[in-house]
């Protein structure tokens, strides 16, 4: 039987949001109507550098887009995922291979086995939560 997954406590999520500077947003849409676009735009407004990861667009929100995490020219502090849950396992494999420190799976993005694998590899993992909503609640 698989052990339960637990998100970090609020204080740890707050600390994560305070230390992160660069966020790769996997599945960032160029469409202003999509949640990923609104959240990423808000994160930019909070002072984070956003790096879009989406093979079907060349740039979003003034930043060049990359086809995959493995194509990024520099390490990032956090990977924020706006993809269907079926894509999470492959994203986790990339995060582990690239030794990235943290993974955030947005509302409705749930893969317990992949999240546990990422935690076991040393990543901080937040699953099925909205980074924008958490930022508003946790950062004064």
Task: Per-residue pLDDT tens, the chain, 140 aa: give them.
Answer: 878 999 999 999 999 999 999 999 999 999 999 999 999 999 999 999 999 999 999 999 999 999 999 999 999 999 999 999 999 999 999 999 999 999 999 999 999 999 999 999 999 999 999 999 999 999 98
For residue 80, being part of any structural domain is answered with yes
For residue 102, give its domain range. Answer: 10-138
- What are the tens digits of pLDDT across the range 112-127? 999 999 999 999 999 9
CATH of the domain at 29: 3.40.50.720
For residue 1, being part of any structural domain is answered with no
Closest Cα to residue 37, out of 101, 86, 106?
106
DSSP label of 61 = T
Give yes or no for a contact between 95 and 102, defined as CB atoms under 8 angstroms apart.
no
Give yes or no for a contact between 66 and 41, defined as CB atoms under 8 angstroms apart.
no
The tally of domains found in the chain comes to 1
With tokens 């086995």, the residue in question is: 113
> What is the dihedral sign for C-alpha 12, 15, 17, 21?
negative
For residue 5, being part of any structural domain is answered with no
For residue 3, being part of any structural domain is answered with no
- What are the tens digits of pLDDT across the range 92-118? 999 999 999 999 999 999 999 999 999
For residue 102, being part of any structural domain is answered with yes
For residue 109, being part of any structural domain is answered with yes
For residue 101, being part of any structural domain is answered with yes
Q: Give this prediction's pTM.
A: 0.97
Q: Which ranges constitute the DSSP H helices of 1-87?
A: 10-19, 35-45
For residue 36, being part of any structural domain is answered with yes
Q: CA 78, CA 44: separation in Å to the nearest integer? A: 14
């Amino acid at each position: 039987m698989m052990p339960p997954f637990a998100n970090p406590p609020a204080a740890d999520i707050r600390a994560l949001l305070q230390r992160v500077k660069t966020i790769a947003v996997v599945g960032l849409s160029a469409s202003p109507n999509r949640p990923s676009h609104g959240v990423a735009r808000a994160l930019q407004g909070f002072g984070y550098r956003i790096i879009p990861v989406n093979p079907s667009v060349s740039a979003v929100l003034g930043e060049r887009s990359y086809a995959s995490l493995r194509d990024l020219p520099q390490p990032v502090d956090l990977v924020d995922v706006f993809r269907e849950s079926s894509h999470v396992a492959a994203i986790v494999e990339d995060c582990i291979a690239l030794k990235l420190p943290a993974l955030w799976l947005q509302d409705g993005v749930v893969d317990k086995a992949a999240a546990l694998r990422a935690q076991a590899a040393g990543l901080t993992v937040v699953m099925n939560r909205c980074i924008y909503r958490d930022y508003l609640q946790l950062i004064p």
